[in-house]
Amino acid sequence: MTHQEDGVSAADDGTSSGAKIFALAQKIYPICRSITGNGVRQTLREIGAHISLDVHEVPTGTPVLDWVVPREWNIRDAYIKDPRGRKVVDFNESNLHVMSYSVPVRRTMLLDELKSHIFTLPDQPDLVPYRTSYYQENWAFCMAHRQLEQLRDDSYEVVIDSTLADGHLTYGEYFHRGESDDEVLLSAHVCHPSLANDNCSGLALLAELASRISQMRTRYSYRFLFAPGTIGAITWLARNEHRVSHIKHGLVVSMVGDGAGPTYKKSRQGDAEIDRAMLHTLQHSKLTPTILAFSPYGYDERQYCSPGFNLPVGLFQRSRFGAIPQYHTSADDLSFIRPEHLGESFRIISEVIDLLEGNRSYYNTSPKGEPQLGRRGLYGAIGGDKDAAAANMAMLWILNLSDGHHSLLDIARRADLPFPVILKTAKVLERHGLLAPVR
């Protein structure tokens, strides 16, 4: 099966894919992840059950561009006990209860002192926040503000059974070789704990996409990266600087399981082929997308788009990061994501990949005047149904703009027609000898 003929998105409308993606997100949701540690390894093992994943371990202290791989953090248990021995905060109930990278602690302290090590959300008093302290040694708990207000002025036993020691940073990579050495990079961060949308949804979607692409013959090669945010992408770039010139298109994928958006943030280049492909796909999706200009704040697109690399990598999400009440709170649980939304996100990204695979430039082999289409039986040869009119217009646009300088995507955007209509029509014209591909 060739990608160009059938496409990633042709197998279903996203329904069966959405169910598979949700099932994997559900499985990895309970795992306590951070930028290093056994939670990352466990998550990669779950993903590796679906695709042939290469797992890389980079030692603590390794220089990576302007950074250094940090010490590895792991946690076994954590709690706050009141004088009656009741756990008022328990890591085993939610891994959000402990600030990521908290150093070990085992003490008894009064509530006033303990409060300086507790994060809450006064404006969202029933939710637990997600907090980190990766590069400054500290410790803290996170809890619902309403629960904090109910604590008595008393002494509390405080335990964080964690380790922060030399170890490794771990990331996973799946590479699918296509007909070309040119690559499409698809990246998701693997460092967040039990946050379903951010980013169990992105990890699970890319695992399903990689599984689908692994069964296909493709024009491009595809590189899937499952790495910790910021330091993971920087580590990968430092270790692969010699091959980044092969990356012709890329997407960072996160927060793809809710029903909002979709939201697309353009690459630093602003008008790269991935930007034009995503914009065209979203404009014909019958959804109400939000398109954002590039900014150097967000997810790992800012690493790939840093000026020393300036790769054509955009960010695809449903809700925009930081703009919803569930963001980085305990409300980002499995009830916040739905299989149908995951399936729709999968379909959109798959259609963009199909577009990249099918996009190329042609020459009109009969460019002087309009070729006589009727005697070739081309009018009505495409469709013969409600799409016939669009197909006939597509023929005229393709023949007019196929001068070796306009790609099929350029033509689809100029004609304001869905790319699949343009691609299907171009193949018919090529079979009739009216188009020749630019080599």
pLDDT at position 4 is: 44
Per-residue pLDDT reduced to its tens digit, 136-170: 999 999 999 999 999 999 999 999 999 999 999 99
Domain boundaries of the chain, sorted by first residue: 3-69+168-358, 73-165, 361-437
Q: State whether residue 329 is helix, strand or coil.
A: strand
pLDDT at position 374 is: 81
pLDDT at position 6 is: 60
* pTM of the complete model: 0.95
Which value, to the nearest 10 degrees, does the dihedral of the CA atoms of residues 202, 204, 205, 206 take?
90
What kind of fold does domain 3-69+168-358 have according to CATH?
Aminopeptidase (3.40.630)
Domain 73-165 superfamily per CATH: Domain of unknown function DUF2172 (3.50.30.90)
349 Cα distance to chain centroid? 10
What average pLDDT does the structure give for the chain? 95
With bands split at pLDDT 50, 70 and 90, how would you rate the model's confidence at 390? confident
Tell which residue, 335, 399, 346, has the closest CA to residue 369.
399
Task: Check pLDDT > 70 for residue 9.
Answer: no
Task: Check pLDDT > 90 for residue 8.
Answer: no
Instruction: For residues 26-30, give the mean pLDDT.
Output: 98
pLDDT at position 373 is: 86
Q: State whether residue 394 is helix, strand or coil.
A: helix
Task: Check pLDDT > 50 for residue 1.
Answer: no
pLDDT at position 315 is: 98
Task: Using alpha carbons only, give the angle 349, 355, 357 rounded to the nearest 5 degrees.
Answer: 105
The number of residues in the chain equals 439
DSSP-assigned beta bridge partners for residue 224? 174, 186
Helices first, then strands: H and E counts in the chain: 13, 19
Task: Check pLDDT > 80 for residue 345.
Answer: yes
Beta strands in 180-287 (DSSP E): 183-189, 221-227, 247-253, 263-265
For 77, phi then psi, to 5°, come to -160, 160
Q: What is the 3-state secondary structure (H, E, C) of 110-161?
A: EHHHHHCCEECCCCCCCCCECCECCCCCECCEECCHHHHHCCCCCEEEEEEE
Q: Half-sphere exposure of 321 toward its Cβ, with a 13 Å CA cutoff?
A: 20
Q: What is the CATH number of domain 361-437?
A: 1.10.10.10
Residue 316 to residue 46: CA distance in whole angstroms: 23
Task: Check pLDDT > 60 for residue 15.
Answer: yes
Instruction: For residues 339-355, give the mean pLDDT.
Output: 97
The token duo for 16 is: 């069966």
Residue for token pair 């990968």: 236
Per-residue pLDDT reduced to its tens digit, 225-277: 999 999 999 999 999 999 999 999 999 999 999 999 999 999 999 999 999 99
pLDDT at position 2 is: 44
- Which ranges of 156-262 would DSSP assign to H, the alpha helix? 201-213, 231-239
